[in-house]
Amino acid sequence: MKKKEYSIELAGKKLTAQFSDLAEQANGSVIISYGNTSVLATAVMSKNAEMGSWFPLTVDYEERFYAAGQILGSQYTRREGKPSDEAILSGRVVDRTIRPLFNQKMRHSVQVIITVLSIEEDDPDVLSVLAASLALGTSDIPWNGPVSAVRVGKHKGDGFTVNPTYHFRDDENFETDIVACGKDGKINMIEVGADETT
């Protein structure tokens, strides 16, 4: 497969989607980068339908120490630990965004794996939704996408900021943190953390 790359400017930074043969055995894959934060999303579907009364979708969000430039471990510890609370919540954001857009009568197992490759000042959870959408959209998996996601933050007395950095959100005047995901101008997943605010 020939490598293809697409870019757009978003909130003063370049958002890049890169398609290559890095995960050529997956039905669809993409690397999304925003600033110095990058995630890889892969989507696969089983060839045979499974028995059961529900749609078997699995979304895994994988953090790695190397993404933050850390190689932890000693003589005996060589594995990553259990997922952090933030990793579990980020995986749920992706799941709750994409799950309603599948045909719920489908019984083929679908797995979407998001791996954080590098992380700096931008949160990878919004990138993960975009990457999952592109990986599914460019695959042969039946899915009624695409979807998009945005994080909006606000300091007391200021206007809204699109995709605020960790530094912006750690400020003591930070009062509103919204992650909204949806399709065609309609929101199908929203998370808000806020002090009392108008």
100: three-class secondary structure by DSSP: helix
The DSSP code sequence of 130-145 is HHHHHHHHTSSS----
* 175 within a domain of the structure (yes/no): no
Domain contains 157: no
Average pLDDT, the chain: 89
Q: Which of 34-43, 45-54, 64-73, 186-195 has the highest mean pLDDT?
A: 34-43
**113 inside domain:** yes
Provide the number of structural domains found in the chain. 1
pLDDT category, 73, cuts 50, 70, 90? low
- In tens, the pLDDT along 44-68 reads 999 998 888 899 999 999 887 666 6
Where in the sequence is the domain holding 41, given as residue range(s)?
Answer: 4-142
Q: What is the mean pLDDT of residues 88-100?
A: 94
- Which amino acid is residue 174, in one-letter code? F
For residues 121 and 144, the answer to whether their CB atoms sit within 8 Å is no
Alpha-carbon span 58 to 132, nearest angstrom:
12
Q: Is the pLDDT of residue 69 over 80?
A: no
- Cis preceding linkage at 146, omega within 30: yes
Within-domain flag for 163:
no
Q: What's the Cα-to-Cα distance from 180 to each of 38, 90, 156, 163, 184, rounded to whole Å?
A: 20, 13, 20, 11, 13
pLDDT reading at 28 higher than 90 = yes
In the prediction, which pLDDT does 120 show?
A: 87
Q: By three-state DSSP, how is residue 160 classified?
A: strand
Looking at the domain assignment, is residue 136 inside a domain?
yes
The reply to whether 35 falls in a domain is: yes
Total Cβ atoms within 10 A of residue 154: 20
Q: 109-136: string of b/e by CB count within 10 Å (b at 16+)?
A: bbbbbbbbbbbeebbbbbbbbbbbbbbb
Is the pLDDT at 76 greater than 60, yes or no?
no
Q: Two tokens at 127?
A: 């990138």
CATH number of residue 47's parent domain: 3.30.230.70
Assess if residue 74 is contained within a domain: yes
Position 68 scores a pLDDT of 64
Residue 110 near residue 14, CB atoms below 8 Å:
no
pTM of the model: 0.89
Mean pLDDT of 171-177: 89
Give domain status of residue 86, yes or no. Answer: yes
